[in-house]
Amino acid sequence: DGGITQSPKYLFRKEGQNVTLSCEQNLNHDAMYWYRQDPGQGLRLIYYSQIVNDFQKGDIAEGYSVSREKKESFPLTVTSAQKNPTAFYLCASGGEQNTEAFFGQGTRLTVV
């Protein structure tokens, strides 16, 4: 089945540790996105990539890093510099003509 897959569904991290969230898509989409969602809040853009080996900062990029070495993959690293990392993280990829975005199931990150 075609789709966008995030893993893991739930992730626990100790303070001060970096952690990487996986996002894979087999939809042949050029654009990929990472969003953060806090309880009761909307989606805030962390990073986005329109093409392999290129990415841009979104509105809240501080404390995060990404890579786009393959079209199918856009991993997000939450670094120790992110002061409040506990949140629901959503990955999306761009649809036909990249005017639509389709989301994965999300990863809930909790810092313990």
Partner 1 sequence: GQQLNQSPQSMFIQEGEDVSMNCTSSSIFNTWLWYKQDPGEGPVLLIALYKAGELTSNGRLTAQFGITRKDSFLNISASIPSDVGIYFCAGQEGEYGNKLVFGAGTILRVKS
CB of 44 to partner 1, least distance (A): 8
CB of 9 to partner 1, least distance (A): 9
Identified binder of partner 1 from the candidate list 24, 35, 68, 85, rule CB under 8 A = 35
List all residues 6 or more positions away from 91 whose beta carbon is below 8 Å from its beta carbon.
4, 6, 21, 23, 32, 33, 34, 35, 74, 76, 103, 104
Nearest CA to 88 out of 16, 47, 39 is that of: 39
Contact footprint for partner 1 (CB under 8 A): 6, 30-31, 33, 35, 40-43, 45, 48, 50-51, 56, 58-59, 88, 90, 92, 94-95, 97-106, 108
